[in-house]
Structure formats: structure tokens, C-alpha cells
Structure 1
């Protein structure tokens, strides 16, 4: 509604919606998209060089002269922006002062200094429009009369505002609730779900698992609570995890978003259930994490560290920002009316790669192999040890009532780990502590992996400390 008070923003909002709807309908050809991206890259370079103290120093004359003769190849020679830059330069990264935005957010700061992430109206309009156009297909697939629960990490995070705005755009009621808050808690969150007949929930996978465990403790059957679908974000979400949680709740589970507080929306789920890039908002590059050079396409996809540049000019556009995340990008499938952009598969952070008996394993590969064989699990943790020169793996599983896995599932786990990583595997059962709930605040590896081969690093220590505080409430 705020746009009716500003003619310029109102026109921008309508133009943005038209562009995204036309893209959604397959109305942009590759040549038009490439021309649009190259023009927007030049505008971003000019914008940040004029306005951001950090980029004025980093790009210097390049930022002023590059737009006039920019090509995708010459753009790829510009310097990277790193997480250390964001942590070290803080407000110098901004291209607009905080008072020119509409809201201030920051990163959680659980493993380092919190960094400022203000948004202006351009930021929110561009990102929320993309989500609204994509999510409309998902919401429609689950009927109407929706009431959506929105569960986020804290009040200084964008989750509540972003998903609340998207629900409003699409004509659906929503309720914001923070289950880890001492004011709300999981028991009250469950009561609200029942009282107002919530049909869909935005949350992290671990919040969904924690709510299921709380429901069972309260004598409730999660499948009877009427939730039709979950929209997961904030953590790794492999097909096995989505399937397990969906089965627990009798609902469809989606990995709905790939984003960060600092980089905003980088991928959104579409009606086919797959994450898609948002090429009207973001320019994507994949590089070798070691060399920084572009990676070639192999076996039908590209895989490498994701580097992004914003194609819109808001509070804090980033240029060639190294996300630290490993991803795969598959070519767009424009048949059957599907969203005509690349399929995005997040594999985990570069620094979360795990060595198992000489095999370099991504977080996605590890979780996929395990969870595809843990049907019925309510929670899990992986323990890595080294015995007589061999890396071993123990899968600690929490199940309803302490039930054991079907013998064939356990046997399949043992065989799969041996075949993939030469890794002996055991399955253990019990109630897991709160550390598994900290993934969105710290990292998947810190929350899910207890690596006994080495002392706990800073992230694992932060996860354990946070788990201790949560269990003390």
C-alpha cells in the first residue's frame, strides 16, 4: 500500500511485477535477458562506485568506466567481494544511509560480528515480487482459504516481514510466531496452529521437527493438525529430509528459498517443487573455490562456489560476492510452462566439505545418503570418528517411542556408506539434545555433525552454547 504515496515507486512496482509475470510465462527470450542483465550490471557498477565507500575504493576508475564498454567477460575480471569485507567494512558497504531505507536488519552474529543489512523499498519490491510470483503456483496447488504460519529466528531478521508481505500480496492471512522465543514457545505455537487452522508454515526444517516432537509429547498426532504444506528455508533441505518431515506431518514439504540476510533472495521454489534462480534480480557466476576461475559445464550442469551480483540498486547491492556456498546449476527447462530459469541445487558451504577416507563429501551428499534411508526419523545427528586408521560414521536417530528402523533400512545404510566412502557405519537410538536445532543460526555442520577426529571449532562451540541456553528455558 505504501507505493500509492509515491508515484515513482508505484510505477516501479507495477513495472517490476509486469517483468516477473512475463518472465514466469516464458515471455523473455535468452537474448533479451542477456541484454537486460548486462545493462543492469553496468547500472549497479556505476551506482555502488558513486555511493558506497567500500566499492569506491575497491573498484575505483573501473566502476566509472566499465559500464560504457562492459561485457560479461570483462565483468568476470573485476575483484570479488568477500564475507570478510562485509564484516570488516560494515556500514561502508552501504550505497544508501540507513535513514533512506524503510527497515534495518542484521545478520545473527552467532559466529562473528553482526553485519548491517538494511532494506529500502527497491530491495523489498524486487525480492518480494519474485517470491510472490513463484509462490503463487505453490499456494494454489494446496487449495484456498489459507492461513500461513511464519516462524523465524528473531526480530532483527527479514523472515517475518518478507513472508508476511508475500502472503499479503497473494491474499492469504498469516501469523508470525517465534517458537524459540520464551514468550511464545513450542507449546503455544502448536496451540495457535490449531486455534486459527493454519494450513501452511514457513520455517526451518528443524523447527518442523521440533514441533512434531512437541506435538507427540502433548499427545497430539501431527498429521491431525491440518497443515497442508511446509515452506522450508534457512537450512540444508535434501529430498530425504523433505520426505521424512512430510511423512511426519502428512504434508508436502518444499525447500522454498535459497537466500541469505546479506544477499537477499537468490532462489525460489516454483510449482514444480524445484528451486529456481531469479535472473531478473541476480547475476550468477560459479567459480572454482581454489582458483576463483569460472567452472565449465560437466554432465549437464555446472558446480562450484556461487558468486552473485545484484541487478537492482537498493541499500546494499553486492558486486561479485563470494557466498561461500557450493551449488549446482542445471539448465532451464522451458517446456510445460515451467519457470524458465536454471534449477538451483545448494550443496552446502565450501568449508563444510568433509573428508571420509579420502573422499571429499558435501553436506548435501552426506545428508542425502543418510536421510533417504531414515524413513520415520524425527531427528538425527552424525558422529564421525577414526578407528584403526579408518573413518567411521555413527548415525544417531531419534524416533517416535524409540522404535528401531526396519532391518532392511539399517542394512541399506551400512551398505551405502561402505560403497560411497569406504566408511563403516552404525545406527544408534536415543533422544537428541538441542544442538540439532541450531543449524539456521550457526551452520548445518555445526548442528548435525559431531566430528570426534578434531576439537570442536568455533561454530560447533557456538551451537553447543546455544543449545544449552535453549534447554535451560
Structure 2
């Protein structure tokens, strides 16, 4: 492998593998973790101050002596980095020239300027070690010799390289398939899945549903005519209800496998206990009130809810300091039986994806989970929000149900759930929402999944226009 060929990368791989094995086995104390994070934080701050034009300016009012003495508990004294900062600063955020990276990715740029996301060998090794360590037990349940399909959004995305490298680390064969490519297409992708056969698949939730739709249109049964045992889902909002439905459609073990971004890399990964868990050896995490920027206090159950802020704890092409992800999360400390002694992280949607329905503010994750809870076997869905003459909000759930046979009890219970939790009437309709629902990974959950007829501006937003444009091209 490459890491054995390059001595520096080989040494880093060995060091991180040993470190993650010890951490996963519970051999690190809280004090040791804090000291590790503090040391890495100081290293990163000195590094970006010296090498990144953006951070040199961002941190110019903080004396070197203060940065050198900072502990992780003091991190809130540093300024935030925002998505707008990255879009405006572009290459000035980088701490190394692009020529020092091994590869270059970029954000999709569907709703703003794409930002460069180069990766050094060290960047990839840090992040891929997390996934290799966390995924090992999940894959082990399904045998040692698997053929894993990988489907990503664009050639400039990290999906193919990242999951390909992790599968190689775990000893599995990889087939990279891009069904939206004009060269491959869905028909050929489905043919390859049957021919090899593909036993595991990394893709977005929308892609998993779209592949199932195309299979049904071709007269195939996803459960009977394919060999999928494992589906690793990422790249879009994914509630437990939708995850379980995708597993039902394909007859496979489905996981929400990764929470990450092109800008900040791996932030949490699936573990064998069924949860996404953070990677505190390579990142520091904060949960803040998105309105005030202050730390979010734990609730009675110990869960912290708010916007996630992350600081990378490794040097490389583009380490970020106090990066506001714009994503709402719920974070809880690990309890007995945790597969990895790291906090569980539940991404619940972007801040701007929240909806107010009859006085209730609800995020995309919770709304999706509520409305889809009682249904299984559907191939797609869309939510429509309207308002009647009395000013009351109404919801309609449209399901593509080629595989699903309507059960009156489930529909009635879904209607009752919505009335109880949101004080809102729900209608359930049946049909094909069309290709716009496949654009979530490129745009946003809200633009892909919600038709809000209450406000004409909602359908003319930049994200909505981008979703329509991508959907038209895919159609």
C-alpha cells in the first residue's frame, strides 16, 4: 500500500492505528484525552497562525503567549470560522500550497462559491483511521470477503477515495459506480451490482431509494434479485425511520455511517452499537446556541442540543478553528456498552432547514422521523406544507409505494402522531415526487424534500432553484 511505500506516512499510520486501538479499548482517561486535545490545539493554532493568511488575520489580536498557553476549556475565547469566511477567503484559508497536497476536492458550489478542499497524506490518514477503526466491527458481521459499491455525488468529492481506502484497509473489494454519470447510468450500475455481485454499498439515502426505483422499473425486486447485505448511508439528512425503510426495501443492514463535510472532513462515524460517535482524538467539539453563540447547556437527560462547532486537531492542508458547521445536533456522553468511549452525535438538520408549523419549530430530522415512522417499503417521499383560510398549517406526505401496500392502521396512526406532536392535520397521498428528491446531497434536505406553499419566496430561494436545475438535468 502507499503508506508502506512512503516512510513518513507509514510511521503516521502505525502511530494512529495504535492510538485509536488503545482509545477504543477504553485505555485513555479523561485527563489524558484533555491533555492530548490541549497539546494538539496549541500545535494547530501555531501552525495556522504561521501558514494560513486567513487565520493570521483572524487571530492577529491574540498574543502568541496566549495561544501557546490555551487549553481546550478556553477555546471559546477564539473567534468562530463560518462557511461565509471559507467562501470569501478561498485559498487564503489553506495552510499549505495546493502542490503539497496529494489530492484536491471542492464543495459542490450549488448554493454558493465552491471552496477548495485539498488533502495531504496526513489529512487522509487521520480521517481514514477513524473510519477504519469504527467500521471494523460493522463489516465483520457480514464476512471478510465482500464487494463494496461506492456511489458519490461528483468526481471532485472525497467519497470514492475515502471509502475506497477504508475498504482496502479492511480487506474488501471496491467498485466505484456513479449512476448519475452519462457513461455509467442507472441501468449499468444495477447490472454491475448483480453481476459482481455487490454485497455492500456506500451511498446517499436518496441514491439508495433511486436505485431501488430503477430496479423496480426494470422488473427487478431489490430484495430478491440483489445481494446487498450492508448499506452505509451518508451525505444527507437521515432519520431512523428513513434508514429502517431503506433497509427494508433492500433487505439489508442499513447504517447512518458518517457525518462529515468536505471542509471539515470526518466528524463522526458509525459504530457497531448503532450510533454515530465523535472522533475526539482528531477533533474538538462544541455545541452552541445558534442564536447567541454561547455553549448549549445539557438538558435533564444530559443531551446537549444546538449548532455544532468543530476544531481540527491535526495539521495539514486546511485545519479549521471553531468552524460553525451550520448543522444542528444532539450530543450525549457515552454510557455503558458504547462501542467506542466517545460522545454519540445525532445530526438533526441544518439550522436553516427548520420549519415552523402551527407554532411548533421542528427540524428536518424530527419531522422526517415523525411522518415516516409508520411506513415501510416506499421508494421515495416528499412533504408539502400548505395553509388554509383560517391560517392553520396542513401537511401532506406523498409516498412512492410501488413496493408498499397501504395499511390503513399505519396511515391512521401516522395521522394521529402528527396531530399529537405538532397539532397539525396530515394527509397521506401516493405518487412519484420526481427527481428533485434526489438532490438533497447537492443542495439541502429542505430544498429536496419540502414543498412549502405558504411562502412564495420558499420556492424561489437559491437552494430551491439549484435543486430544480439539478433535477431537470437528471430527468
After superposition, give the CA deviation of every residue in 1:196-255 in whole Å (9 maximum; x if it has no partner). 111100000111111111111111111121100100000111111111111111101100
Structure 2 CA distance, aligned partners of 1:188 and 1:116? 32
Question: Which of 443, 468, 472 is residue 472 of structure 2 equivalent to?
Answer: 468
User: How far apart are residue 71 of structure 1 and its match?
Assistant: 2.5
Partner residue, 1:121:
121
User: How far apart are residue 405 of structure 1 and its match?
Assistant: 2.2
CA contact (8 A) 1:43 1:67 kept: no
Instruction: Report the TM-score, using the length of structure 1 for normalisation.
Output: 0.97
CA contact (8 A) 2:384 2:453 kept: yes
Partner residue, 1:317:
319
Question: Which of 322, 329, 346 is residue 327 of structure 1 equivalent to?
Answer: 329
After superposition, give the CA deviation of every residue in 1:156-206 in whole Å (9 maximum; x if it has no partner). 000000000001111110000101111111111010011111110000011
Partner residue, 1:362:
363
Structure 2 CA distance, aligned partners of 1:194 and 1:110? 33
Partner residue, 2:145:
145
User: How far apart are residue 63 of structure 1 and its match?
Assistant: 6.4
Q: Does 1:303 align with 2:315?
A: no
User: How far apart are residue 61 of structure 1 and its match?
Assistant: 4.8
Structure 1 CA distance, aligned partners of 2:435 and 2:183? 18
After superposition, give the CA deviation of every residue in 1:95-135 in whole Å (9 maximum; x if it has no partner). 00100000000001111111000000110000001100111
Q: CA RMSD in A?
A: 1.2
CA contact (8 A) 2:385 2:452 kept: yes
Structure 2 CA distance, aligned partners of 1:90 and 1:10? 31
CA contact (8 A) 1:286 1:305 kept: yes
Q: Does 1:106 align with 2:106?
A: yes
Counterpart mapping for 1:227-238 below 5 A: 227-238=228-239
Structure 2 CA distance, aligned partners of 1:179 and 1:411? 37
SS in 2 for 1:338: coil
User: How far apart are residue 404 of structure 1 and its match?
Assistant: 5.2
Partner residue, 1:427:
428
Partner residue, 2:160:
160
Structure 1 CA distance, aligned partners of 2:216 and 2:36? 52
Counterpart mapping for 1:189-204 below 5 A: 189-204=189-204
CA contact (8 A) 1:306 1:325 kept: yes
Partner residue, 1:409:
410
Runs of 5+ consecutive residues of structure 2 not aligned to the other structure: none
Structure 2 CA distance, aligned partners of 1:229 and 1:66? 49
Structure 2 CA distance, aligned partners of 1:398 and 1:406? 14
Partner residue, 2:249:
248
Structure 1 CA distance, aligned partners of 2:186 and 2:63? 50
User: How far apart are residue 24 of structure 1 and its match?
Assistant: 1.3
Partner residue, 1:399:
401
CA contact (8 A) 1:285 1:306 kept: yes
Structure 2 CA distance, aligned partners of 1:420 and 1:332? 28
Structure 1 CA distance, aligned partners of 2:307 and 2:65? 28
Partner residue, 2:379:
378
SS in 2 for 1:105: strand
User: How far apart are residue 337 of structure 1 and its match?
Assistant: 6.4
Instruction: Report the TM-score, using the length of structure 2 for normalisation.
Output: 0.97
C-alpha change, 1:190 and 1:392, in structure 2 (3 Å) is same
User: How far apart are residue 69 of structure 1 and its match?
Assistant: 1.8
Structure 2 CA distance, aligned partners of 1:181 and 1:61? 48
C-alpha change, 1:63 and 1:355, in structure 2 (3 Å) is farther
Counterpart mapping for 1:85-100 below 5 A: 85-100=85-100
CA contact (8 A) 1:49 1:64 kept: no
C-alpha change, 1:107 and 1:63, in structure 2 (3 Å) is farther
SS in 1 for 2:273: coil
SS in 1 for 2:243: helix
User: How far apart are residue 72 of structure 1 and its match?
Assistant: 2.9
User: How far apart are residue 338 of structure 1 and its match?
Assistant: 1.8
C-alpha change, 1:63 and 1:210, in structure 2 (3 Å) is farther
After superposition, give the CA deviation of every residue in 1:6-60 in whole Å (9 maximum; x if it has no partner). 3333212210111011111111111100110011111111100000000000001
Partner residue, 1:287:
288
Number of aligned positions between the proteins:
469
Structure 2 CA distance, aligned partners of 1:372 and 1:100? 48
Partner residue, 1:133:
133
Structure 2 CA distance, aligned partners of 1:146 and 1:5? 26
Runs of 5+ consecutive residues of structure 1 not aligned to the other structure: none
After superposition, give the CA deviation of every residue in 1:52-96 in whole Å (9 maximum; x if it has no partner). 000000001526323332123432111100000000000000000
Structure 2 CA distance, aligned partners of 1:442 and 1:336? 36
SS in 1 for 2:164: helix
Partner residue, 1:259:
260
C-alpha change, 1:63 and 1:190, in structure 2 (3 Å) is farther
Structure 1 CA distance, aligned partners of 2:306 and 2:166? 31
Structure 1 CA distance, aligned partners of 2:212 and 2:6? 45
Q: Does 1:343 align with 2:344?
A: yes
CA contact (8 A) 2:382 2:398 kept: yes
CA contact (8 A) 2:381 2:399 kept: yes
After superposition, give the CA deviation of every residue in 1:282-312 in whole Å (9 maximum; x if it has no partner). 1000100010000111122101100000000
C-alpha change, 1:337 and 1:382, in structure 2 (3 Å) is closer
Structure 1 CA distance, aligned partners of 2:25 and 2:199? 27
CA contact (8 A) 2:23 2:341 kept: yes
